[in-house]
Structure 1
């Protein structure tokens, strides 16, 4: 038998390191959001903010790098390149440092300073573009220029994740619901940045033959809703999302519309009102994408109430509010952006008090 190459030995050890990280952070908490007992509906929040890098993207980053390793695209001297609005790059920088690899994130200049600081904390460097859509081409160019590997989350997210199981987020949720009164949720509500999470849930519930429906909450200016509702996957909006991490000006290749049962459009001001309500009701401090999820979950629960349905709904806490202290939680920033949260707060407070949804 021929001896293995040093590169092959390195790849095996790199895979071991990724598996060890997964084993250490094997699961995240499933919190209960308080709803009136008389409704007979349970709302759960899967808290992805407790991952080592503080967001749902920790799972994705590990999967993307594993995908690169097993496909022979990443070796001991490969520089990793990504196009990202922040959270994915933070997690990828963490794993790159773990493997001793260089990492460059191509990010819009509008990315929050907290995320930039975290990318650099983990040893990554940031390469800025003025327009979000320019990220893709610039990341590909940098990777070709240095002989690196473009991780390309917006294309590979849905194919890099093992949707059948292997402790993916869908399997984790169903395992945690096993002892609950409604162990098979009526709805799972997620938002889309790459589309990888909705693809994982949508495929998993079909594979396991569950009756669960998957809803995608979409912010303003995002192309996903238009692409899904019309079937035109070339649909674009030409505008960046103001809710970091989700919503895209184009329908990303990794978005799989055929596994999505429903889409809910959520105003940006409603997303930001929802994270403040979440904090006041549960003390959980979350980012804007969590607010998008929560607002859409409330809308679907209102529909269940109207139809006399009982059951459970699951949505996600995508990342911590700490990353947005100077934006979404800053009154001056909200005023500069022209956000009025009060009408949306009233809608949610009335809903939680009466069950009526007047949005």
Structure 2
């Protein structure tokens, strides 16, 4: 290696070192997210907790993923000084990645359908991200890779790398955080952790951590309509496809993504979209603030397991997540006009959710599976 090459290598490593240090400093400045305990007098033997990921600097669970993806790409030599970063996302992941790209001083491009809401585009642009619209949603992966090649950049590809970018053994990942926060509670080892899947990275992290620490906790994953995850898990067929995009933003995918690790999942449910939005509204009223649609999906699944435990006379705790704030959905999920246009009517299910929380039966049909052998 020539002296010139050696100097370039040293300068490149110096920039990467500074970028990693900036991201780690940001993490140290952020307090851990709160674990809320719901008040459920009708179920004295069951404690439901909500891990509030909406309080991250970029407002969602995807903040953790974006941080892990950037560290993974930096440490693997994929991002250097000036490298454009490209992501296939029209939602919270793009917002969070734009935040970290600005932090380390690299360009960021979000590849997204032209129909993406103005609110989401504005949030991405707020952090300096650039939009790259496409007309055919099913080409988002190919178009993202093509844009990265054209710009000489790095395609972050959350749907492939989410499950491997996070250190599932510990290092303050979300699973370790949950169990640490529960340590002083009356049921410190939860019966169930409930999580919905977007990339599948968070469920992979939680499921692996549970096994690594040899906890008796089971992982239940909640899926939505217009998503391939539930069918892929129930049948064992990873080639499942769904022709329409999910209506619950941030979760559900038209294909079984590479980051979806079925082997660490104990159970899945599929929640109708109208039920998710009904639960979203009921939980928002109970908390006194709005949550997003994916949190509604999580809450339905948590109630499903609480109902099973109560019927069996079991006591224990259940943990699920508040994925993001409902303020991002003021013009969609909280808009009656938007709901009518989408053909969604959560109103019949809201009183059923309220009745369950008051001690009644959970009178909602929900599909479930424990895998191909169930």
Q: TM-score range by the shorter chain?
A: over 0.9
> Is this contact kept in 2: 1:223–1:235, CA < 8 A?
yes
Which residue in the other structure is 2:105 paired with?
100
Question: Does 1:123 find its partner at 2:131?
Answer: no
- 2:238 aligned partner: 233
Equivalent residues of 2:148, 2:154 under 8 A apart: yes
**Alignment deviations for residues 131-172 of structure 1 (CA, whole Å, 9 cap, x no partner):** 332110100000011110000000000000010000000000
C-alpha distance 351-38 of structure 1, shift in aligned 2 (>3 A): closer
1:7 equivalent to 2:22? Answer no
TM-superposed deviation, 1:24: 1.1
Q: For 1:326, which of 317, 331, 336 is the aligned residue?
A: 331
1:198 equivalent in structure 2:
203
| Matching residue within 40, 53, 72 for 1:48 | 53
Match of residue 65, structure 2, among 55, 60, 76: 60
Please report how far the alpha carbon of residue 6 of structure 1 lies from its aligned counterpart in structure 2 after TM superposition: 1.1
Q: Does 1:72 align with 2:77?
A: yes
How far residue 274 of structure 1 moved from its aligned partner, in angstroms, is 1.0
Kindly state the Cα deviation for residue 347 of structure 1 after the two structures are TM-superposed.
1.7
Please tell me whether the aligned partners of residues 302 and 320 of structure 2 are also in contact (alpha carbons under 8 angstroms): yes
1:291 counterpart (296, 301, 307): 296
SS in 2 for 1:332: helix
Q: Which residue does the alignment assign to 1:252?
A: 257
User: Separation in 1 of the partners of 2:361 and 2:41?
Assistant: 13
Q: How does 1:161-176 map to 2 (within 5 A)?
A: 161-176=166-181
Superposed displacement of residue 110, structure 1: 3.1
- 5+ residue gaps, structure 1, are none
Q: CA deviation at 1:38?
A: 4.5
The 2-side partners of 1:60 and 1:112 are apart by 22
* Alignment counterpart, residue 220 of structure 1, candidates 222, 225, 242: 225
- The whole-number CA distance in structure 1 between the counterparts of 2:285 and 2:245 is 29
SS in 1 for 2:349: helix
Residue aligned with 1:39, SS? coil
Structure 2 residue corresponding to 1:83, chosen from 85, 88, 112: 88
Secondary structure, counterpart of 1:342 in structure 2: coil
**Range with greater deviation from structure 2 (38-47 or 204-213):** 38-47
How far did 1:341 drift?
1.0
Q: Which residue of 1 aligns with 2:320?
A: 315
Partner of 2:359: 354
- Cα-to-partner distance string for 1:322-355 (whole Å, 9 max, x where unaligned): 1111101111111111211122112211111124
1:270 aligns with 2:296: no
Question: Match of 2:286, SS?
Answer: helix
Q: In the aligned structure 2, how far is the partner of 1:318 from the partner of 1:355?
A: 27
Given that 2:42 and 2:357 are in contact with CA atoms closer than 8 Å, whether structure 1 keeps it comes out as no
User: What TM-score comes out, normalization by structure 2 length?
Assistant: 0.94
| Cα distance in 1 for residues equivalent to 2:85 and 2:111 | 11
Show the counterpart of 2:344. 339
Could you tell me which of 24, 27, 40 is aligned with 2:29? Answer: 24
Give the stretch that moved more between structures: 346-355 or 90-99.
346-355
- Name the Cα RMSD after superposition: 1.3
Is the contact made by 2:42 and 2:358 (CA closer than 8 Å) also made in structure 1?
no
Distance 1:270 1:16, change over 3 A: same
Structure 1 match to 2:287: 282
Q: Do the aligned residues in 2 keep the contact of 1:85 with 1:244 (CA within 8 Å)?
A: no
Deviations 1:223-266 (A, max 9, x none): 00000000000111111100011000100000000001111101
Distance 2:264 2:256 in 1: 15
